[in-house]
Amino acid sequence: MEITNEILEDIYRKTAHSLEGQRDVSDEFIKDQALKIFREMFPGEGYISVANRHMIADYTFNNMRKLGPLQSILDDKTITEVMINGPDHIFIEKSGRVTESNVKFDSKKQLEDIIQRIVSKVNRTVDASNPICDARLEDGSRVNIVLNPIALNGPVVTIRKFPESVIQISDLIKWESLTPQAASFLEAAVRAKYNIFVSGGTGSGKTTFLNALSNFIPQDERIITIEDSAELQILNVPNIVRMETRNANAEGKGAVTIKDLIKSSLRMRPERIVVGEVRGAEALDMLQAMNTGHDGSLSTGHANSTKDMLSRLETMVMQGADFPIEAIRQQIGSAIDIIIHLGRLADKSRRTLHIDELIGYENREYIINPLFEFRREKEMRNGKIVGGLVRTENALHKMTKFEMSGVEPVGL
């Protein structure tokens, strides 16, 4: 007997209905109940093949306990990103290449049900009156959702999958995003409490890089992490407080922003503040925290270069404060010590393109001191770009934090 999608959906609906109100139902019981309902629907069907048994049980289980058709994609460890453009078009990214999957949702309603399941688990709300939402899966994968009427071609869901294991600096070296020399310098800079900002375009690996840097923080320090959706995995620091923003409710009240969380974190005796990403007016609070005794703070932002990141920070600060531009630039120049700029090359590889020291702001311009630069050597026939970070001849100007902390400035 051919088991169609319509039959599978009918079995799932009837199984879910039969188990309404029951608590502590095991995974195996759900699967057994689905097979029982199939037999009730088709009493004349004798032998059920092993393949059909698995199909019925897995479909019902995935729709009740997991994420339906999405589950097989999420279970594929080689897929790094999932882009759902309505129920009929699911695109996946593997090894930096985007292709369309043959997986589809049975209906728009099924996709909407799964969206509600995702947001409800992290106490978020998304509906016609609040059609845009950021959330995360249980494994930490980042989820962005846009509904009608904003998304014209149906519910749009983008999932940035979370790596199975915490990515370390050693992994970035193995993937040729960093050199051992540059990694040694960054480890020393984190330990010596330099304020570090990671910039780059979408998908360049900013959060991954930030997480790797964060794991260099000494174990005896108190850290506050602030994110839109909690992604950072800092494993070696026991005294850590993790905070996540909250959207407004249906009445437009109760929102908790990154700006709110940064202000609150300053009353929690942090030694370092790690902000997943600054996008707006909270940039001013982040800079002020860096300038008022919270050395060693880390953050990221979207930009196309080091200079572009500085310009974007100026714009962000002006969104929430009416300060003279010169005062803003002075704040930026004195707050940030190191800017790491990441990018994706034509071969889709993620690379560290620049590690720059921000010496300060003088004579109406930022003084940027390049420490490491990406040098392209050649392009292979298969399109792979050969090259890596090269140490410039420039000396580090801001040596005070190394001297005060007693950390050796290795890698320079």
> How many H-runs (helices) and E-runs (strands) does the chain carry?
13, 15
Question: Are residues 88 and 58 part of one domain?
Answer: no
pLDDT digits (tens, 9 = 90+) for 371-392: 999 998 877 777 788 888 999 9
Question: Are residues 230 and 132 part of one domain?
Answer: no
Contact 196, 274 (CB under 8 A): no
Low-confidence ranges of the chain (pLDDT < 50): none
Say how many domains are in the chain.
Answer: 3
Question: Are residues 339 and 233 part of one domain?
Answer: yes
- Which residue stretches of 266-355 are H helix? 282-291, 306-320, 325-335
Question: Are residues 400 and 286 part of one domain?
Answer: yes
Question: Are residues 196 and 212 part of one domain?
Answer: yes
The whole-number pLDDT of residue 220 equals 92
Task: State which of 43, 65, 87 marks the end of a domain.
Answer: 65
The whole-number pLDDT of residue 333 equals 94
CA distance 412 to 395: 8
What residues have CB less than 8 Å from 148, skipping those under 6 apart? 128, 131, 154, 155
Task: Specify the CATH number for the domain of residue 102.
Answer: 3.30.450.370
The whole-number pLDDT of residue 305 equals 94
The whole-number pLDDT of residue 90 equals 94
The whole-number pLDDT of residue 162 equals 79
Task: State which of 65, 95, 114 marks the end of a domain.
Answer: 65
Q: Is 412 inside any structural domain?
A: no
Give the Å distances, CA to CA, from 188 to 154, 224, 264, 399, 412: 48, 20, 29, 12, 10
| Domain of 79, in residue numbers | 73-160
The whole-number pLDDT of residue 77 equals 87
* Residue-level length of the chain: 412
